[in-house]
Chain A
Amino acid sequence: MVDKIKVENLSCYYNKKCVLESLSINVIQNEILSIIGPSNSGKTTFLRTLNRMNDLDSIHSRKGEVYLDNNSIFDMDMEDLRRRIGMLFAMPTPLPMSIYENIVYAPKRLGLISKKPEQDALVVRALKDASLWNEVKDRLKSSAMEMSGGQQQRLCIARILAINPEVILFDEPCSGLDPISTAKIEESMIELKRKYTMVLVTNNVKQASRVSDRTAFFLMGKIIEIDTTDKMFVSPKERQTEDYITGRFG
């Protein structure tokens, strides 16, 4: 069991207001770690700190350290870090271009591929890995904006897979989707576990129990409890965790 990401005493502030309080947590290689908790508990802030999406926000500040393979992410080149840690947003964010171009966009910009056959192969592989290939193989040139919400979200997954990240962050990826699309995305996530390490932030407690190996419960910017998903859902140690999981608040 190797720690892929290690977070030590991380605190985050928005306009001096503390939203994460000296957090320490680790993410193990090839696991799915779920983070659950009510809104405003700091889940998304935590996730956006891991690939430094918060850095562009001028009112944001932080303390503490995050290590990826024992190297501090704050010393890394930002673009390089984001290539290694991909992120899927709550709402599908296809770029306004064709399905094909959406996938080759980042690899082209990053200089990973150039030749046309390489691009074609990459598109096929990424779409297959995101289990989208069968649905779109006949219309790769059509606009990504015309797909359904669930397809768009899986396209975004394919887009991340195309740059070969090591970790993928999911920020409530199914919040805008219907149950069938949600099931498809969860399927892909379990499928992807063999190759990638994943962190899933979700409002949906059941989703966490379905897909994740371990679950952490956040409340008001603090970790209340972290354990294997099975244990957490069967016999939580903390009263607050139990109340949240059973739906007494949140």
Chain B
Amino acid sequence: MIRLSPKLSQKFSYLILFLATTLAITPVIVIIFIIVKNGMSVINWEFLASMPKNGMRDGGVLPAIVGTFVIVTCTIILTLPTGLCAAIYLNEYARDNIFARVIKLGILNLAGVPSVVYGLFGFGIFVMFLKLGVSIIAGALTLSIMELPVIITTSRNALNSVPYSFREASWALGVSRWQTIRHIVLPNALPGIMTGAVLSIARISGETAPILFTAAAFYVPHLPHSIFDQVMTLPYHLYIISTQIPNMPNNIIFGTALILLVMVLAISFVAIFVRIYFRKHRKW
């Protein structure tokens, strides 16, 4: 074997590292490119604002868009306050004892559970045991438990980034712990909490497995009336039309995928924008 000089071997290695990096970022670009290229042609107002027709092979995706919106809203209403309170407890009140460690282990564990197992659990407890049936509320409950660890972790990091000296200054003035949290810690942690919440929204919007058997419906001829209705959602709709329906026109599938993609990416960009904006305007 030929031994390369250290200089040459460094150049060679950098080239390989560079190629690997290219390989790692190509898929994203390719996926986005393919979907935009093939999906653009069907996107128009009609497609966005009408019901599916002719066994999904024609018409629009309105109920799926509305359904995604409704279920995501319900989920975030359920999960954000709970997760935020849990983060406050862990960061502001919990002392470093066995009990706090058990809670941290619990969060770690929740974060690792596969989404389909959440679906299974949600089906067992909300749909069957609590008899909520396949419904928006059952799906939202399932999703909110799934998203809880993410919300807790991001909120906690946001709270933790507020300097400890702010708290001490407030306590030293005789202000109680809760008042300090409410008026000093929370306002300053808000951008971080918001960023986390918005990223969670993006993630929930794209989830399929947890709502597969807790909320999603193959086809509903009307928009949802109440939280006990079944619902069509974009990711589930994409799954259905790309696997279950024979002779499905490809451009409609691509169009649906494009709308889902744009929605999720747009939400993520909002989060990134919020983060950059507040980082620039932060006073401390």
Interface residues of A (CB under 8 A from B): 51, 53, 56, 58, 79-84, 86-87, 89, 91, 93-96, 105-106, 109-110, 143, 145, 156, 159-160, 163
A-B contacts, 11 listed (Cβ < 8 Å): A53-B172, A56-B171, A58-B97, A79-B175, A81-B174, A82-B172, A86-B172, A93-B166, A93-B169, A96-B283, A106-B170
Q: Taking each of A79, A84, A145, A156, which has the highest tally of chain B beta carbons within 10 Å of its own beta carbon?
A: A79
CA gap between A87 and B170 in the complex, in Å:
10
Decide: B173 and A159 in contact? CB cutoff 8 A: yes
B58 in the interface, Cβ–Cβ < 8 Å?
no
Decide: B174 and A79 in contact? CB cutoff 8 A: yes
Decide: A163 and B174 in contact? CB cutoff 8 A: yes
**Which residues of chain B from 164 to 206 have a CB within 8 Å of any chain A CB?**
165-166, 168-176, 179, 183-184, 188
Decide: B172 and A109 in contact? CB cutoff 8 A: no
CA gap between A86 and B169 in the complex, in Å:
10
* Nearest CB of B to A200, in Å: 16
Decide: B175 and A110 in contact? CB cutoff 8 A: yes
**Contact status of A109 and B183, CB under 8 A, knowing A79-B175, A87-B172:** yes
Inter-chain contacts of B97 with A (CB < 8 A)? 58
Inter-chain contacts of B169 with A (CB < 8 A)? 89, 93-95, 156
Decide: B165 and A89 in contact? CB cutoff 8 A: yes
Decide: B284 and A105 in contact? CB cutoff 8 A: no
CA gap between A81 and B175 in the complex, in Å:
11
* Nearest CB of B to A105, in Å: 7
Inter-chain contacts of B96 with A (CB < 8 A)? 58
Residue of B172, B173, B284 touching A145 (CB-CB under 8 A): B284
**Contact status of A95 and B184, CB under 8 A, knowing A145-B283, A145-B284:** yes
Decide: A96 and B166 in contact? CB cutoff 8 A: yes
Q: Would you give the 0/1 interface string for B123-162, flagging 1 where the beta carbon is closer than 8 Å to chain A?
A: 0000000000000000000000000000000000000000
Inter-chain contacts of B171 with A (CB < 8 A)? 53, 56, 82
CA gap between A79 and B175 in the complex, in Å:
6
* Smallest CB gap from A87: residue in B: B172
**Contact status of A110 and B168, CB under 8 A, knowing A58-B96, A105-B183:** no
Q: 8 more A-B contacts (CB under 8 A) besides A53-B171, A56-B171, A89-B169? A: A58-B95, A82-B174, A83-B173, A83-B174, A89-B172, A96-B166, A109-B176, A163-B174
CA gap between A89 and B174 in the complex, in Å:
15
Interface residues of B (CB under 8 A from A): 95-97, 165-166, 168-176, 179, 183-184, 188, 283-284
Q: Is the interface of B mostly helix, strand, loop or mixed?
A: helix
CA gap between A163 and B171 in the complex, in Å:
13
Inter-chain contacts of A109 with B (CB < 8 A)? 173, 175-176, 179, 183
Q: Taking each of B165, B171, B179, which has the highest tally of chain A beta carbons within 10 Å of its own beta carbon?
A: B171
Decide: B172 and A95 in contact? CB cutoff 8 A: no
* Smallest CB gap from B282: residue in A: A96
**Contact status of A80 and B170, CB under 8 A, knowing A93-B165, A96-B283:** no
* Smallest CB gap from A58: residue in B: B95
* Nearest CB of B to A76, in Å: 11
* Nearest CB of A to B175, in Å: 5
Inter-chain contacts of B179 with A (CB < 8 A)? 109
* Smallest CB gap from B165: residue in A: A93
* Smallest CB gap from A84: residue in B: B174
Inter-chain contacts of A53 with B (CB < 8 A)? 168, 171-172
* Smallest CB gap from B182: residue in A: A109
Inter-chain contacts of B188 with A (CB < 8 A)? 96
Decide: A95 and B168 in contact? CB cutoff 8 A: no
Decide: B173 and A82 in contact? CB cutoff 8 A: yes
* Smallest CB gap from B167: residue in A: A56
Inter-chain contacts of A145 with B (CB < 8 A)? 283-284
CA gap between A110 and B180 in the complex, in Å:
11
* Smallest CB gap from B188: residue in A: A96
* Smallest CB gap from B173: residue in A: A106
Inter-chain contacts of A84 with B (CB < 8 A)? 174
* Nearest CB of A to B202, in Å: 29
* Nearest CB of A to B172, in Å: 4
Residue of B168, B176, B184 touching A79 (CB-CB under 8 A): B176
* Smallest CB gap from B97: residue in A: A58
Can you list the 6 inter-chain pairs with the closest CB atoms, starting with the nearest? A83-B174, A106-B173, A93-B169, A82-B174, A58-B95, A87-B172
Q: Taking each of B169, B171, B172, which has the highest tally of chain A beta carbons within 10 Å of its own beta carbon?
A: B172
Decide: A106 and B175 in contact? CB cutoff 8 A: yes
CA gap between A117 and B169 in the complex, in Å:
25
* Smallest CB gap from A110: residue in B: B174
**Contact status of A51 and B172, CB under 8 A, knowing A58-B96, A93-B165, A109-B183:** yes
